[in-house]
Copies of this chain bind each other. A is one copy, B any other.
Amino acid sequence: MSKVPVGVSARHIHLTQEHVELLFGQGAALTSMKPLSQPGQFAANETVEVIGPKGSFPKVRILGPVRNLTQLEVSRTDAFSLGIHPPLRESGNIEGSAGITIKGPAGEVTIEEGVIVAARHIHFHTSDAERLGIADKQRLSVRLSGERGIILENVIARVSEAFALDLHIDTDEANAAGAKTGDEAEIIG
């Protein structure tokens, strides 16, 4: 049995440098508030408002560094509040996904696609994957134990030299299981 630390992702956004400057002003750059579990990634001091047809969230954390695509990741519960219908996707796969309006202190931008519900996944460093006999893209079953325990099926393995071992689930999944960041999950198949 293989233990994996749990990381719960609240709604957050990744921005292109172009969008950072549109939202925060010409020449603006993200600044790190704290490092995340994945090497080089950080939660920025900066937040934006996201505005859907039915509701909005005033302070959505930006995760850095900037990317080559702007991507908002929300839970299904968040999606109902916003009034949008984002698909379940792996990060980076945003073609035909949902749109949203993003507002910062210096401007706003409406994206036609880029909003997804992130498919749960485990980041494996290559050495972890070798040790556990797990291949990139493999689908795994993972148990979150407890009074409200659940087994997550179709958890996607992502393997890279750049990754640290971590199970990423969203707030719906965490709340359904009564789980929180720092808990331990178990790969059972």
Contact = CB atoms under 8 A, between A and B. Distances in A.
Chain copies in the assembled complex? 2
B152 A150 contact: yes
Contacts of A148: 88, 119-120, 154
A1 interface: no
A173 B171 CA distance: 11
A173 B179 CA distance: 12
A161 interface: no
Contacts of A184: none
A44 to B, nearest CB: 22
A77 B172 contact: yes
Q: Chain A interface: which size bin?
A: 20 to 34
Contact of A76 (B76, B170, B175): B175
28 contacts: A75-B77, A75-B175, A76-B176, A76-B178, A77-B77, A77-B171, A77-B172, A77-B175, A88-B147, A88-B148, A88-B178, A119-B147, A119-B148, A148-B154, A149-B153, A150-B150, A150-B151, A150-B153, A150-B176, A151-B151, A151-B153, A170-B176, A172-B172, A172-B175, A172-B176, A175-B176, A176-B176, A176-B177
